[in-house]
Structure 1
Amino acid sequence: MSHHYFFAVPLPPQTKRVIKETCEKISEFLPFHKWVHEEDYHITLAFLGAAELTKVKEAIEDMTSPLQLMSPFSLQLDSFGTFGRLSHPRIFWVGVEKNELLHQTRSIVFNSCTKVGFELETRPFSPHITVARKWKGAENFHSHLLKEVELSDNFIVDRVVLYQTHLDRTPKYEAVETILLNQ
């Protein structure tokens, strides 16, 4: 069985806990088919799909020096959002405030991956943390239900992680390589 890989910003345990506790409260009135396990929360920078490890290692080699020149930076949880049809979203997510350093980190990772031959998603980068999938409510999804929900936390981004996906496990993402920013 081939595994899929992706590069992402991991979240610290305290931020995962804040998101999980909020999701537990709102899941009572937001029926999604699948809520993401808290250990799988992350911000994807580049999804590689099924990949040869030699190519993945080349990408890691290329991005390591530029990432190590970057200093850790703070990110703030910001809002909820969806992807897919507004009435029946396929992805429900938590966003982060706009941050130039996050976009810079993503550019380094993206460019290193494309340089070694990965064909990546070309849509504009929309940083988010997927928390649920596939709306299953009998009624349409209404974002106004979230107006009263507070979600506030900030955390330090100090690393980029290569994850391997295991669809047969929970949690399903395994960290296989970590690149620390300048400590």
Structure 2
Amino acid sequence: MAGIRGDVNPARSAQRRRSFVPTTPERKHKGRGRVPKAGSGLDRVDAHIGGRLRLRRTLVGLSQTALGERVGVTFQQIQKYERGDNGIAASRLWQLAEVLDVPVGFFFDGMPAGGRHAAADPVPDTPMPPLGRRETLELVKCYYRIKDPRVRRRVFDLVKELVGALEGMLTPDPP
């Protein structure tokens, strides 16, 4: 009797053990494109596009799962796109733009001058742009939950008046 797994050829098992090659990040990558090196700039471009993807997806009110289903990828892949871990192919970016009802250029709006050649370290005191803040997203979501366009317009006008009044209070009167 040959032990518990009697049908296993011991010579073949030894051959498998000898031919084992450890997996490195370069070997693990099976995509068609490149494996970006940290700090190469390509990862910053992917991160910017991913951030814009997340912004639009949340503004539209789609989950990662729902967006993934509409373009034929898993929610995990959408997560990787949004984090900038994976670059987005041009054809996939086109699909995402169609589903999210934005032009492809939307994903590049606000890209730092120089794109991937921009300075590696952003200025630390740079405030987050208003469109990237969670508060802005929540405000826009609430605004669009108002179904009646007339009421929505009145809320919009009210906010504009409020901002104008506050700005008038903050500006000193000329002497």
The two structures share one fold, judged by TM-score above 0.5: no
**Which has the bigger relative contact order, CA under 8 A and spacing at least 6?**
1
The structure whose Rg is larger is 2
With structure 1 as the length reference, what TM-score do the two structures score?
0.24
With structure 2 as the length reference, what TM-score do the two structures score?
0.25
Whichever structure has more helix as a proportion of its residues is 2
